[in-house]
């Protein structure tokens, strides 16, 4: 009998504290943009007041199935990515939480194809009901396309040799169908690697980010948050690698300052739209208990004025 795949929510209390603030039994509508296995959502519901509401988003059908177990009239979920945040009414949301990346149950399920540690289909889609798998994309992509993806989304200095090795394998043996095959190909093309890191780590990250358009979706969701957050509403984002965190950091910095129009030097500046509230990393105890937390960075900001 298969055991359920477990997930330990990273920065659970810190994220919910940042999202809800100090208000006892808060009202208003809050958004969990990445339901996952519901760790953050369940704690938010525990702390919400009777008039509060929680709307969750998730692409993963397994997450939607897990969400169906929550019997709370204040809760609802959409089978969509969090970039659909912008469909909500302007200034209607009291807080947005985004816990980015892939969850432990997704990584640990060989059928999802996210990890080189297990042999399984080379899929990597967050939403298995639609879109192109990594195997499908690699079956036709050209060397230059593959190298660009691995370099840009994986920050992999051996992107060129890896891309050539993938296309050479494909020409000799046919399409790459499994995670084990891809991991072996990458291992043969990467001559050196940081101690303790599997040679395929950066390539798998890059292909997952690309096939799910993760960075583009993050950009759209961040921009949407400015429209849907009410004044005083919180934006809380947990990132797990530098590409994500850089986008979040730059977005908050960009909107946490007044903007002057150089063409109209005497005009009043556009007021800042966010107030940065800080950056938090997991403590030593959490990292010891859950090593996957070690790369997490949480950034918090507050909406400062009514959305246009």
Question: What local confidence, expressed as pLDDT, does residue 5 receive?
Answer: 47
Would you tell me how many other CB atoms lie within 10 Å of the CB of residue 289?
Answer: 11
- 159-173 and 179-189 helices cross at what angle (nearest 10)? 130
- Per residue in 23-66, pLDDT (tens digit) is 888 999 999 999 999 999 999 999 999 999 999 999 999 999 99
Task: Set out the domains of the chain in order of their start, with CATH numbers.
Answer: 12-104+214-303 (3.40.50.150), 128-211 (1.10.150.170)
Q: Which two tokens stand for residue 121?
A: 């289909």
Residues ≥6 apart with Cβ < 8 Å to 17:
none
- Per residue in 216-234, pLDDT (tens digit) is 999 999 999 999 999 999 9
- Per residue in 232-267, pLDDT (tens digit) is 999 999 999 999 999 999 999 999 976 555 565 655
Would you tell me how many other CB atoms lie within 10 Å of the CB of residue 42?
Answer: 19
Apex 239 CA angle, 135 and 180, nearest 5: 25
Say yes or no to pLDDT of 147 above 80.
Answer: yes
The answer to whether the Cα torsion of 55, 60, 62, 65 is positive or negative is positive
The Cα-based distances of 75 to 67, 80, 184 in angstroms read 9, 15, 44
The single residue listed with the structure tokens 């692409």 is 59
Question: What local confidence, expressed as pLDDT, does residue 195 receive?
Answer: 78
Question: What local confidence, expressed as pLDDT, does residue 304 receive?
Answer: 93
Q: Which two tokens stand for residue 222?
A: 């961040």
Question: What local confidence, expressed as pLDDT, does residue 192 receive?
Answer: 77
pLDDT confidence of 153, banded at 50, 70, 90?
Answer: very high
Which helix (H) or strand (E) covers residue 175, if one does? none
Helix (H, G, I), strand (E, B) or coil at 101: coil
pLDDT confidence of 270, banded at 50, 70, 90?
Answer: low
As a three-state string, the secondary structure of 235-248 is EEEEECCHHHHHHH
Say yes or no to pLDDT of 299 above 90.
Answer: yes
- Average pLDDT score over residue span 100-106: 86
Phi-psi region of 177 (alpha: psi -120 to 50; beta: other; left: phi over 0): alpha
Phi-psi region of 224 (alpha: psi -120 to 50; beta: other; left: phi over 0): alpha
State pTM to two decimals: 0.90
DSSP class per residue in 149-161: HHHHHH--TTHHH
Residues ≥6 apart with Cβ < 8 Å to 256:
272, 273, 274, 275, 276, 301
Q: How far apart are CA 35 and CA 41, in angstroms?
A: 7
Question: What local confidence, expressed as pLDDT, does residue 22 receive?
Answer: 85
Q: Is 191 exposed, middle or buried (0-12, 13-18, 19+ CB in 10 A)?
A: exposed
Question: What local confidence, expressed as pLDDT, does residue 308 receive?
Answer: 44
Q: How far apart are CA 63 and CA 33, in angstroms?
A: 12
CA-nearest of 3, 62, 4, 1 to 35 is 62
Question: What local confidence, expressed as pLDDT, does residue 32 receive?
Answer: 98
Helix (H, G, I), strand (E, B) or coil at 9: coil
Tell me whether strands 274-280 and 297-303 are parallel, antiparallel or unpaired: antiparallel
Question: What local confidence, expressed as pLDDT, does residue 101 receive?
Answer: 84
- Mean pLDDT, the chain, rounded, equals 91
Question: What local confidence, expressed as pLDDT, does residue 194 receive?
Answer: 76
Per DSSP, what are the bridge partners of residue 56? 32, 77
């Amino acid at each position: 009998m298969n055991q359920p795949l477990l997930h330990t929510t990273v920065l659970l209390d810190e994220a919910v504290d940042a999202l809800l603030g100090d208000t006892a039994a808060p009202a208003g509508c809050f958004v969990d943009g990445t339901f996952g296995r519901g760790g953050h959502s369940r704690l938010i519901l525990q702390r919400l007041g009777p008039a509060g509401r929680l709307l969750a988003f998730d692409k993963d059908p397994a997450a939607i199935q897990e969400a169906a177990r929550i019997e709370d009239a204040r809760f609802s979920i959409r089978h969509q990515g969090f970039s659909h945040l912008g469909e909500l009414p302007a200034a209607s949301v009291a807080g947005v939480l985004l816990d980015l990346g892939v969850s432990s149950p997704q990584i640990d399920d060989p059928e999802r194809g996210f990890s080189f540690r297990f042999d399984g289909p080379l899929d990597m889609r967050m939403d298995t009901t639609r879109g192109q798998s990594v195997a499908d994309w690699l079956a036709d992509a050209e060397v230059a396309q593959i190298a660009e993806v691995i370099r840009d989304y994986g920050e992999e200095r051996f992107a060129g040799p890896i891309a050539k090795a993938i296309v050479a394998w494909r020409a000799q043996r046919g399409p790459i169908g499994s995670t084990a095959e891809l991991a072996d190909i990458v291992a043969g093309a990467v001559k050196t690697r940081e101690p303790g890191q599997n040679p395929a780590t950066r390539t798998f990250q890059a292909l997952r980010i690309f096939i799910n358009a993760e960075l583009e979706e993050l950009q759209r969701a961040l921009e949407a948050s400015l429209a849907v957050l009410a004044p005083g509403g919180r934006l809380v984002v947990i990132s797990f690698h530098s590409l994500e965190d850089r986008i979040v950091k730059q977005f908050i910095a960009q909107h946490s300052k007044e903007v002057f129009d150089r063409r109209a030097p005497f005009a009043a500046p556009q007021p800042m739209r966010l107030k940065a509230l800080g950056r938090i990393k997991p403590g030593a105890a959490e990292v010891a208990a859950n090593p996957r937390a070690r790369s997490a960075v949480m950034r918090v900001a507050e909406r400062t004025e009514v959305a246009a």
